[in-house]
Structure 1
Amino acid sequence: MLSSNSSPNSSWTPSPTPSPNHAPVLPVVPIGMAPRQFAPSSNPFPHFWSPPPDPDKPMCPYRAGFAVEIKPHTPPPPFGTPRYGPGVWQDRSDVDLKTVTQTELVLAYPPLERQNTMPSPHAATATLTILKPLAVGDGRGAQLVVCSVDPSSCPQEPEGFVAKIFDPLYYSFESKFAAHEAEDVSFNADVHYTHEAAALDHLEGMRKSGRQGLSAPKYFGAWTFTLPVTHAGKKVQRSVRLVLMENIKGPSIRDICRDAALLSRYSELDRLDIFAAVLDSAVRLWHAGVDQRDLASRNVVLRPSLTSSPSGPNSLPLPQPVIVDYNIAAVFELSRDGKHPYQLMKLPPNPIQLYWGVFFGNFDGWLPHEWEDCHKICQQWMKERFRGEAASQYAPLTREPEFSEY
């Protein structure tokens, strides 16, 4: 399992955080958050709970041709994890997760608004039209689609935009990690929305201020729209949040690993060159103040590039990795811990500083098979790659790393 580690000599001590691979948010009360006060369940066998029939729930609408009017939205500050605290979330003591339908829960808990921020009645609106789905379906969590936005307050992207839609009605009501346990889907969707928007907004601000080398999607803001739903015989409107970002035309590393023909285009040296660029991108995010917390092959998209591979003069141009998916990310200066010491350095930390002891199981199929059985081989590669002349791109190591015995 991949994890990011702060400098061993740093005085900055992050709050304990969940495993970076556990999106959506697990039904565990974060430190600093009061236990949820739900009414007692009338089910005599709660461990056999499964989502009840929900005749009011419409089919997932996020397909090609779907169009909706959207308007800009100001997200609340990120919340819901130990690093951020409980935020402004308010529990409802009259809602029992195991006796309500998903539609009833979503209507009982509408998305949060930022405190002391009133929506402008004159806010510019636009029409979002879905061109094609990327990752869509009931129960998957956030929906990913390629879309057009007209009129657009930002330069119209030639390949359209990607919208990430945080609709709690299409999150999984039953926990994916504990059978027969209900998920608070409204809470999860709000947590993911506030984390994603905060991280992308922070990185976009850093990029606009001149920070180079940030391999994250360009960000085009947070938005909201309404959809009708019929409940108890009455049609009501419910709000849904989304973020807009650039559409990166390229496959993820996981997609390539699942396609033998695509994978065969990359030699092992090519794959290691790209992986070195992934680690370089990750430490530059830390230097900019963001821990993405879910560095995995599914979250690295390869953008076509004209840059030649250093593996050899006859190599094909290698794509540039872009790290995506920030719904459990941490923006250090918005957290309880404040700025990370890495942010105060002139140069980003060396990848050895963060990843020396990490086993990269989330990149199976991309990295040499020998790394699975001998971590020392991985460490030898890291030393060759990020020491010597390459070390001048990074801050000095705080201590000399020791090789694993296996």
Structure 2
Amino acid sequence: MDLDDDNLERLLRVLDPNRPPKAPPYFWSPPADPDRPSLPYMPGFKTQIQSHMAPSPFGDGALYGPWPRKQLSNAELETVTQSALVMSHPPLEATTALSDTEILPETAQFTITSHISVGCEAGAQVVVCTVVKDGKPPFEAVAKIFDALYYRFSHSIASRPRDVTAEADTDYAAEAAAYKLITSDGRASKITPAYYGSWTFNLPILSRGVQQIRPVRLVLVEHLQGSNLRGLRMQNSAQIHDGLDSFHLPENYRLEVLAHAMDAYMRVLHCGVEQNDFASRNIMISSKDTSTNTDITGTSIPRVTLIDYNTAIGYSRTFYGSSMEEKMALPVNPMQWFWKHAVGGDFPGWVPREWEGSRKPMQEWLVQRFGSKEQRALYESVAKELKFDEW
């Protein structure tokens, strides 16, 4: 017998007359915010940016210790507009000890030329831009702009507000720290975008009738000429319910790109950075440097790059000081690291369909791709016996 919520509640109350009353449904939406300007990050947007020392990463107390800023309750967030929240909680600054280690600030002219991912439905704004430093030729870059005023104010699942100022701060701190660590290590330079530093700029805002200035943080990285794996999907099947996929590309090509992505993840981890979001949207294949040939299949593939580090862990910035993986002589074998991962769910339409409901086919491929004597020599020895799943 199927019961709707109301009938089920009545039945439960008959069975238990002392049952407490059902809580009323909770609906919250952001209040009207006339002070919040329209998204400014359109092609043609220009400003002067200044180099900036990002604060240390924070968020997980077990990794980083106490928060460097107040954690706001739902009650505090529910009664404030997004613009008022942003103005009352400006972006964090680095500690004096960190700032003292930096070189003198530099400035540059910043112009947005096109979009990659913009809008108020998620988090950081990602744009293509040109950057001109004094006395130097312009160069093209990708800017990731951590502007809390244009983060989504409500959670996508529950009707609850998000502390967008804290999220923008944690995203910026984690991304800048990860890129700095990867750049200083140097061993992952070809499998991550080149890093052009962390920056800040000011924007005007009319807040409660008073003209004010608010700071905005960003990082600049290499503009990769290509697409992420998710962007290569299309409707190949006549059955609409099959969804989008990349099956117009040969399977050996798709799996070799995946192998390079797994290798990139492990080499970044060997630098002391755990990227923490291995998914098709964060793997770029570039149209440049297409001469790479694999030793396994002979398939020619483009440059494969691991992007997006706003949830990354840079272990030298944590209580641990370093990770076990970065102390090893060689990177961890991807076969061991990904053995129990649900890669099929993270790469839908890129991996074979049977991977999406089963780990065993993926495990068989991992052994084939990374289990040979020649491949094992590129990585640390597999630490334990790997047992195949039954499905």
Q: Give the number of aligned pairs.
A: 355
Counterpart for residue 232 of structure 1: 208
Q: 1:182 to 1:244 in 2, by over 3 A?
A: same
RMSD of the TM alignment (CA)?
2.7
Q: What is the letter of the counterpart of residue 112 of structure 1?
A: L
SS at match of 1:199: helix
- Does structure 2 retain, via aligned residues, the 8 Å contact 1:214–1:285? no
Counterpart for residue 274 of structure 2: 291
- Does structure 1 retain, via aligned residues, the 8 Å contact 2:247–2:350? no
The correspondence of residues 272-283 of structure 1 with structure 2, limited to 5 A, is 272-283=255-266
Are positions 1:219 and 2:195 aligned together?
Answer: yes
Choose which of 147, 150, 153 in structure 2 pairs with 1:170. Answer: 150
1:10-56 CA distance string (max 9 Å, x none): xxxxxxxxxxxxxxxxxxxxxxxxxxxxxxxxxx9893221000001
5+ residue gaps in structure 2? Answer: 1-22, 237-243
* C-alpha distance in structure 2 between counterparts of 1:170 and 1:106, whole Å: 10
* C-alpha distance in structure 1 between counterparts of 2:149 and 2:136, whole Å: 29
Q: 1:267 to 1:153 in 2, by over 3 A?
A: farther
The correspondence of residues 178-257 of structure 1 with structure 2, limited to 5 A, is 178-179=158-159, 181-207=160-186, 211-212=187-188, 215-257=191-233
* C-alpha distance in structure 2 between counterparts of 1:214 and 1:308, whole Å: 15
SS at match of 2:197: strand
Q: What is the letter of the counterpart of residue 246 of structure 1?
A: E
- Does structure 2 retain, via aligned residues, the 8 Å contact 1:203–1:214? no
SS at match of 2:70: coil
* C-alpha distance in structure 1 between counterparts of 2:86 and 2:321, whole Å: 33
Counterpart for residue 58 of structure 1: 37
- Does structure 2 retain, via aligned residues, the 8 Å contact 1:350–1:397? yes
Larger Rg: 2
User: 1:264 offset after TM fit, Å?
Assistant: 5.3
Counterpart for residue 99 of structure 1: 79
Are positions 1:85 and 2:65 aligned together?
Answer: yes
User: 1:125 offset after TM fit, Å?
Assistant: 1.5
Counterpart for residue 254 of structure 2: 271
- Does structure 1 retain, via aligned residues, the 8 Å contact 2:247–2:349? no
* C-alpha distance in structure 1 between counterparts of 2:319 and 2:190, whole Å: 24
User: 1:263 offset after TM fit, Å?
Assistant: 3.3
Counterpart for residue 19 of structure 2: none
Q: 1:395 to 1:249 in 2, by over 3 A?
A: same
5+ residue gaps in structure 1? Answer: 1-43
Counterpart for residue 355 of structure 1: 338
1:210-266 CA distance string (max 9 Å, x none): x25651111000000000000111110000000000000101000012465993552
Structure having the larger proportion of residues in helix: 2
Choose which of 146, 150, 157 in structure 1 pairs with 2:132. Answer: 150
1:325-361 CA distance string (max 9 Å, x none): 1001001121122211111111101012211111111
Are positions 1:333 and 2:316 aligned together?
Answer: yes
Q: What is the letter of the counterpart of residue 204 of structure 1?
A: T
Are positions 1:344 and 2:335 aligned together?
Answer: no
Q: 1:65 to 1:262 in 2, by over 3 A?
A: farther
* C-alpha distance in structure 2 between counterparts of 1:87 and 1:343, whole Å: 26
Runs (4+) of structure 1 exceeding 6 A deviation are: 152-155
Q: 1:341 to 1:133 in 2, by over 3 A?
A: same
1:66-88 CA distance string (max 9 Å, x none): 00110000011000123223342
Q: 1:252 to 1:334 in 2, by over 3 A?
A: same
- Does structure 2 retain, via aligned residues, the 8 Å contact 1:213–1:281? no
Are positions 1:109 and 2:89 aligned together?
Answer: yes
Are positions 1:401 and 2:381 aligned together?
Answer: no
User: 1:312 offset after TM fit, Å?
Assistant: 5.8
Q: 1:349 to 1:281 in 2, by over 3 A?
A: same
Choose which of 308, 319, 341 in structure 1 pairs with 2:302. Answer: 319
Q: 1:379 to 1:342 in 2, by over 3 A?
A: same
TM-score for the superposition, normalised by structure 2: 0.85
Q: What is the letter of the counterpart of residue 401 of structure 1?
A: L
1:257-300 CA distance string (max 9 Å, x none): 24659935520011111111111111111111111000100011
* C-alpha distance in structure 2 between counterparts of 1:337 and 1:182, whole Å: 32
Are positions 1:140 and 2:122 aligned together?
Answer: yes
- Does structure 2 retain, via aligned residues, the 8 Å contact 1:167–1:189? yes
- Does structure 1 retain, via aligned residues, the 8 Å contact 2:245–2:350? no
* C-alpha distance in structure 2 between counterparts of 1:56 and 1:195, whole Å: 29
> Percent of aligned pairs with the same residue?
38
Q: 1:351 to 1:251 in 2, by over 3 A?
A: same
* C-alpha distance in structure 2 between counterparts of 1:381 and 1:254, whole Å: 21
User: 1:153 offset after TM fit, Å?
Assistant: 8.5
Counterpart for residue 300 of structure 1: 283
Are positions 1:364 and 2:348 aligned together?
Answer: yes
Counterpart for residue 385 of structure 1: 369
Q: 1:258 to 1:310 in 2, by over 3 A?
A: farther
* C-alpha distance in structure 2 between counterparts of 1:104 and 1:46, whole Å: 27
TM-score for the superposition, normalised by structure 1: 0.82
